[in-house]
Amino acid sequence: MISPRLSLLLVVIGLFLPGTALAQGCLSQSEARQAVQNGEAISLSQVRGSLPGDVVSAQLCRGGGGLVYVVNVLGAGGKVQRITIDAQSGAVAGN
């Protein structure tokens, strides 16, 4: 029998693997490009300047009633921070 702690750990790890529910809500590169061209989202280059560090990875995803960028940023001291940004306004939507 799997312990409750191990079960929880497996669920948490599963949230970050490709093909999971979290990953399925994100757009492919071609879909993201089309969303920017159609004016549904600002470009990632417009978002980068307001971030507190270097972008490690970014995805355009559906969430919060619209499109959001989920961005992992390498900040001071080598700490990686996940930031959610509204893809239309560029405002930080949450962490």
2's tokens: 């799997």
For the cut 80, the answer to whether the pLDDT of residue 24 exceeds it is: no
Q: Is the model more confident about 14 or about 31?
A: 31
Segment (H or E) for 68: strand 66-74
Split at pLDDT 50, 70, 90, the class of 79 is very high
The tokens for 83 are 């930031």
Secondary structure (3-state) at 16: coil
Tokens 């306004």 -> residue = 89
What predicted TM-score, i.e. pTM, was given to this entire model? 0.71
Average pLDDT over residues 55-67: 91
Q: Which fold has domain 26-94?
A: Nuclear Transport Factor 2; Chain: A, (3.10.450)
What pLDDT is attached to residue 93?
82
* 54-63 sheet: strands from edge to edge: 54-63, 66-74, 80-86, 92-94
Asked if the model's pLDDT at residue 23 lies above 70, the reply is no
- What does the pLDDT read at residue 64? 73
